[in-house]
Structure 1
Amino acid sequence: MSGGVDSSVAAALLVEAGVPVFGIMLRLWSAPGTTNRCCSPDDVARARRVARDLEIPLYVLDMQEPFRSHVVSVFVNGYAQGSTPNPCIECNRQIRWTHMLRAAESMGASKMATGHYARLEAGPDGPVLRRAIDRDKDQSYVLGMLSPRQLAMAAFPIGSLTKAEVREHARQRNLAVADRADSQDLCFLGGRDYREVLRELDGVSLAPGPILDSDGRQLGQHSGLSDYTIGQRKGIGVAGPEALYVIAKDLRRNALVVGPKAALGRTHLATGRVSWTSATPPSLPMNLSAQIRYRAPARPAEVHWLDGGGVEVELREPAPDVTPGQFAMFYDDDRCLGGGMILA
């Protein structure tokens, strides 16, 4: 439970179904001068009030150390290596469905329900992860790295509801969080720009370097490669006859490569080892849909095995947002089959 409307309604639906429930809230991050979105005193107070209204116990667990090790450090190291990480996927896999699940099981839980917008169905090889009914809120992408065993322990009570229906459920139950605004940023940023946080944490090189066009001509100077991501247009600091976008980071030369939007289009990518949501991986090569960022559309693609358990993906149409460090998740219609981190 986070003190938000989604996890609160998920808990309420289970209570009303007669399921014995207890709540867990995670204390993940604290930093001087920062109001953390995930575990502030106000969040704890809201979660306690909901638990009291639902007449269920609530336990607040301190998981700052594993969160720092498995999420924040990976985030920092990713930027140091020139990629653009997705910490929410690592948090779900490493913190919620590893550390929190282990704690929940030790406390007697047989399932762990969350307020994610996704659906689970029983299949011949175990749970089938599907997109939520509310496609605008669908979160199957950030759950696609969960293992079959982790999914077997999961439940998503609100996955068949729209966001509007979730809020209405909360109002009908007089939950104080019914109209609480959705969070928009990473929980450990505290509303700050990620670059400000990177500057406070060790391990990221902020050495300035050249901004080059695709022909190698220098157009200006960047403030540090970690300040930029593939596809970025605003804040580059150079101008041309047409809008310029970040199309690559050259770590060897510490150079930022920019070009017109057309130069962003890529039809090929490769991932690291893929985590499949089913115990039986799909038979590749196979025509699937590939989603390469959280809010990106899923694009038709042909997926082939690579040595080491990764895959090679050939998109039917160029995509402007292929970004190392992000994840490619693979779908068969609305079923999420799993995914892997984009390496190139």
Structure 2
Amino acid sequence: MDAPFGLPLPPPARVVVGLSGGVDSAVTALLLQRAGYEVLGLFMKNWEDDDQFGDCPAEVDIADVQAIGAQLDIPVQVVNFAAEYREQVFAHFLAEYRRGRTPNPDVLCNREIKFGVFQQHARALGAQAIATGHYAALRRSRGQVHLLCPADPDKDQTYFLHALTQAQLAPAGMPLAGFTKREVRALAAGAGLPVAQKKDSTGICFIGERPFREFLSRYLVAEPGDMLDPHDTIVGRHIGLPYYTLGQRQGLGIGGGHGDGNAPWYVAGKDATRNTLLVVQGHDHPLLLSNALLSETASWIGGGPPDVRFACTAKTRYRQTAEACEVEALDDGRCQVRFAHPQRAVTPGQSVVFYRDGECLGGAVIDTTTPAAQTLSADAVSA
């Protein structure tokens, strides 16, 4: 019997489901139960700092998980991974902001927590497989696990899963691969799940709905500095480099009398050494556009790149159409990526993720970029 949902084993294998208290993971458990699997639910409490402030409502989510377990008649367990999360994810998050970069903690959380310590804990519970509510697909072929884009392109989460290894994907299943969000909510409502209409969580979980600057100020000391235009002219003051990201327009506070009339200003770069913020006028200013980037050491789903040099498409942010590029895998594990068309606000600290024929190949953290102002030859891109 073939195993459904990309799982390694057919029913009645024991599967531990990561239950978040949301509708996606609840329907994941529902689908597995209906397929005949022995399902256990596990809630990961990854953040404790804000319990006293009520900013990260773990108690609400835990109550929802327990209600899901009661409705489905499956056992649920709450496990505290806050220490592991702080050490393996949050410490890196703060270190990157101190460097003037913009990290993506969700990528690291998936690798270190959801498919790391969670997977280890699931094994201790006798799990033969694990499952999550991610919108992504797994295909098994010739001893390899392939990570594929799901049926609903608007919910595709492969961008955040690109750093996973074969060992992490081997025991995993992702039952929502073939469903749209609307279908998932309909399944939840039909089964009487109490979270059928629960609002999706947005942003970074430990920041929640509060202003980003307010949160970050608890952990980083802001050092104000100058905002400079491309001619090194001071046009304003910033409140601290961590509070800005490339391409940002809002909140710069640059008054009149600077630059080209009333054209809006955008963040185009950070200089942590000088503690200065580079700002430019115009949405598509050349200093906001990049033809190429150099990554840090890449992660490859299949264990290595498909070739030393290959054509594919890539995303440099989550909600973006994958763009044609050529990737050169360097001897030191990094990648040189050249795009067919200039990309806007490519941000060091974020991830570049590679795709080909609906499959996520892997990705890497962006280290440096080449501005479009430093034009590359057109024939450097063969995608």
- 1:60-75 map, 5 Å: 60-75=78-93
C-alpha deviations, 1:229-276, integer Å up to 9, x for none?
011011011144211110000111100001133231101111111110
C-alpha distance in structure 1 between counterparts of 2:120 and 2:212, whole Å: 30
Checking the alignment, whether the CA contact within 8 Å between 2:202 and 2:208 is kept in structure 1 is no
**1:302 correspondence with 2:326:** yes
Select which of 269, 278, 290 maps to 1:257: 278
- Structure-2 separation of matches of 1:302 and 1:34: 47
Which digits, 9 at most, give the CA deviation of each residue in 1:35-73, with x for residues without a partner? 354x62111111111111111111100000011111111
Corresponding residue for residue 284 of structure 1: 308
Give the aligned partner of residue 214 of structure 1.
230
Cα shift at 1:190: 3.1
Please state if 1:137 is matched with 2:155: yes
CA distance in 2, matches of 1:3, 1:205: 34
Out of 199, 222, 238, the position equivalent to 2:254 is 238
Query: Is 1:52 matched up with 2:70?
Result: yes
- Quote how far apart the aligned CAs of 1:171 are: 0.8
Distance 1:280 1:339 in 2: 11
Shift of 1:205: 4.3
Pairing 1:328–2:349 present: no
Give the percent of matched residue pairs that are identical in Structure 1 and Structure 2.
38
The amino acid that maps onto 1:253 is R
CA change 1:234–1:122 in 2 (3 A) is same
**Of 53, 61, 66, which residue of structure 2 is paired with 1:34?**
53
Residue number in structure 1 paired with 2:10 = none
- Partner Cα distance (1:28, 1:156) in 2: 21
Aligned partner of 1:179 among 197, 200, 204: 197
Runs ≥4 residues deviating over 6 A: none
Q: Distance in 1 between matches of 2:345 and 2:180?
A: 28
- Segments of structure 2 that go 5 or more residues without pairing to the other structure are 1-18, 369-383
- Structure with larger Rg: 2
Decide which of 102, 115, 119 is 1:84's aligned counterpart: 102
Corresponding residue for residue 239 of structure 2: 223
Distance across 2 between alignment mates of 1:297 and 1:325: 19
Q: What whole-Å deviation, never above 9, does each CA across 1:108-155 have from its counterpart, x for those lacking one? A: 112110000001111235111011111001101000100011111211
Aligned partner (choices 92, 105, 115) of residue 97 of structure 1: 115
Number of residue pairs the alignment of both structures matches: 341
Letter of the 2:184 counterpart: V
- The TM-score, its normalising length taken from structure 2, stands at 0.87
Q: Could you tell me whether the CA contact under 8 Å between 1:267 and 1:319 is conserved in 2?
A: yes
8 A contact 1:50–1:175 mirrored in 2: yes
CA RMSD of aligned residues (A): 1.3
Asked if the contact 2:307/2:329 (under 8 Å) is kept, the reply is: no
Instruction: Tell me which residue corresponds to 2:8.
Output: none
Deviation, 1:215, is 1.3
In 1: Cα distance, 2:132 partner to 2:242 partner: 33
In the alignment, what sits opposite 1:339? 363
Partners of 1:34 and 1:100 in 2: how far apart? 26
Q: Partner residue of 2:129?
A: 111
1:92 aligned partner, one-letter code: N
Superposition TM-score, scaled by structure 1 size: 0.96
Change (3 A) 1:36 1:60: farther
Instruction: Report the CA distance shift for 1:76/1:280 in structure 2 as closer, same or farther (over 3 A).
Output: closer
The 8 Å contact of residues 144 and 329 in structure 1, kept in 2 or not, is answered as: yes
Corresponding letter in the other structure for 2:207? L
CA distance in 2, matches of 1:185, 1:35: 17
CA change 1:120–1:296 in 2 (3 A) is same
